[in-house]
Structure 1
Amino acid sequence: MNKLTSSISESITRDLALRIIRGELGVGMSIPGENELAQQYDASRTSVRNALQVLGAKGMLLIQAKRRSTVTPREQWSYLDAEVLSWLEDVGIESELVEQLMLTRLIFEPDVAAMAAINANGHDLAAIEDALDTMQSGQQNGSAAEFERGDLAFHTAVLRACHNPFLASVGNALSAAMLLSFKQTLEEDLRLTQEAVQQHRDLLQAIRMKQPDTARQCMRHILVSAAHKHIWREIPEKYQHFL
């Protein structure tokens, strides 16, 4: 597939995805066939077919031989796919989805921090500290992009410090979702992130001192603080046992 065909295919993929997310193409609805879509987008059948295959691979379409593709229920979508998350963000992330993302992080990341405190070596500690420096620089310079970059690097470095290939694979899948989570919980006024920077510094110290229980609590505190400010005024009772 040449670059032009690839670009056209990507444009069709995105447009169809956004129409599905908005509900213009509803669950169970058969979408137009390749010929009709090719005319609609003034594109080749090859570009259309590639777009449909991509959406099928991401769980957004059910593709069956000699039958029109149909829109699948949302629970079948690949929510840890970076493109799917980007499309959702373009349309507007629903509050319920942000809540479920934070809950996923609460289930996963505190124990990751504890494991990092047990297994981190000097190289890992340097990577975590470098990421913290980037966060602090972003906070001081009022740069949301720099702060987000440091935040993601920090949590990724903590994950790598576990030295567990299975956790690393899960973390790689979660990385796009974590970045989306950071964007949803980042303060508009970066001067207000000073507390968050200190919380991350406390976590680094717990990992450096090989204190897994403290590291677990520090990570939980980071997540709960963000959730309190931007998602839950009070943590729902049904989620209390994750705290």
Structure 2
Amino acid sequence: MTARKPSVSATLTRQLAARILGGDLAPGEQLPGENELATQYEVSRTTVRNALQVLAAKGLISVQAKRRSTVCEQDQWNCLDQEVITWLGETEISQDTVKQLMVTRLIFEPDMAALAATHASAADLAAIEAAWITMKQAQKQADGALFEKGDLAFHLALLRATHNFFLQSLGNALAAAMMLSFKQTLEHDVSLTALAVEQHQAVLEAIRLRQADTARQRMREILLAAIQKSGELHQADLLATLGQR
């Protein structure tokens, strides 16, 4: 089945989002007027207006009647929106952004693993193990895409195993954030991910044995190892941000 081609409005939205998220259009800066954007991108004013409305709904710009749209400050961006995270992944990501992503993961995922150890069902354990097997196979085959798929499946299976519907409602956003950070911290040579496979197995076994504290610590070790692999992030800086050592 052929993938549906994005609409003209969706394409323009993505292009403008890339300029904002990539820093070409800085917070506080005004966008060109509707007529100018329509001419520049060779689209209708209706298309421009639709694109601006989407960007405004996601907190990237502020739209006011009879005034040019203005790029919002970063703290107004809806970074839990899956599209925003996806667009962010298509830009050159700053180390500060990667740092904030990893801090977010350090806040959520160790405790998610602990909750999974307490609440996981047999079906949950099977899903976590299946994802780990995919990671192991990918590592042996040096298949980066398959490894990312298994890694994401593993973390999402943990999320479902918490049986906490508030956390699960964040699933899509967390998945996109995880994929974004994977791209920054995964080894270019997938054959070198043997340690990561072992670490994920340790989390699986802790959950299987209902060892919540161990699961929390093993997940924390996975994230700290990922930070170390990035080469430009420093564990001490991130832990200081969290008030930890």
Confirm or deny a common fold (TM above 0.5).
yes
Whole-Å separation in 2 of the counterparts to 1:49 and 1:233: 43
Corresponding residue of 1:235: 236
Which TM-score applies when normalising by structure 2? 0.91
Evaluate the alpha carbon distance shift between residue 38 and residue 203 of structure 1 in structure 2; reply closer, same or farther with a 3 A threshold: same
SS for the counterpart of 2:193 is helix
Q: Give the CA deviation at 1:67.
A: 2.2
Q: 2:224 touches 2:235 (CA, 8 Å); kept in 1?
A: no
Evaluate the alpha carbon distance shift between residue 57 and residue 200 of structure 1 in structure 2; reply closer, same or farther with a 3 A threshold: same
Whole-Å separation in 2 of the counterparts to 1:26 and 1:211: 47
- Runs of at least 5 residues in structure 2 that lack an aligned partner in the other structure: none
Q: 1:27 touches 1:71 (CA, 8 Å); kept in 2?
A: yes
SS for the counterpart of 1:91 is coil
Whole-Å separation in 2 of the counterparts to 1:66 and 1:241: 46
Whole-Å separation in 2 of the counterparts to 1:27 and 1:172: 26
Q: 1:81 touches 1:176 (CA, 8 Å); kept in 2?
A: no
Corresponding residue of 1:199: 199
Considering only aligned residues, what root-mean-square deviation do their CA atoms show, in Å?
Answer: 1.9
Corresponding residue of 1:30: 30
Corresponding pairs, count: 240
Corresponding residue of 2:81: 81
Which runs of structure 2 are paired with 1:153-232 in the superposition (5 Å)? 153-230=153-230, 231-232=232-233
Corresponding residue of 1:115: 115
Structure 2 residue 132 is matched with structure 1 residue 132: yes
Q: Give the CA deviation at 1:15.
A: 1.8
Q: Give the CA deviation at 1:241.
A: 4.2
My pick for the range that moved more, 57-66 or 94-103, is 57-66
Q: Give the CA deviation at 1:81.
A: 2.6
Which TM-score applies when normalising by structure 1? 0.92
Q: Give the CA deviation at 1:29.
A: 2.2
My pick for the range that moved more, 165-174 or 131-140, is 165-174
Whole-Å separation in 2 of the counterparts to 1:179 and 1:91: 14
Q: 1:111 touches 1:216 (CA, 8 Å); kept in 2?
A: yes
Whole-Å separation in 1 of the counterparts to 2:59 and 2:201: 39
SS for the counterpart of 1:101 is helix
Q: Give the CA deviation at 1:238.
A: 1.6
Evaluate the alpha carbon distance shift between residue 161 and residue 20 of structure 1 in structure 2; reply closer, same or farther with a 3 A threshold: same
Q: Give the CA deviation at 1:47.
A: 1.1
Evaluate the alpha carbon distance shift between residue 156 and residue 13 of structure 1 in structure 2; reply closer, same or farther with a 3 A threshold: same
Corresponding residue of 2:17: 17
My pick for the range that moved more, 150-159 or 15-24, is 15-24
Evaluate the alpha carbon distance shift between residue 123 and residue 22 of structure 1 in structure 2; reply closer, same or farther with a 3 A threshold: closer
Q: Give the CA deviation at 1:76.
A: 1.3
Corresponding residue of 2:42: 42
Evaluate the alpha carbon distance shift between residue 192 and residue 170 of structure 1 in structure 2; reply closer, same or farther with a 3 A threshold: same
SS for the counterpart of 1:78 is coil
Evaluate the alpha carbon distance shift between residue 22 and residue 190 of structure 1 in structure 2; reply closer, same or farther with a 3 A threshold: closer
SS for the counterpart of 1:68 is coil
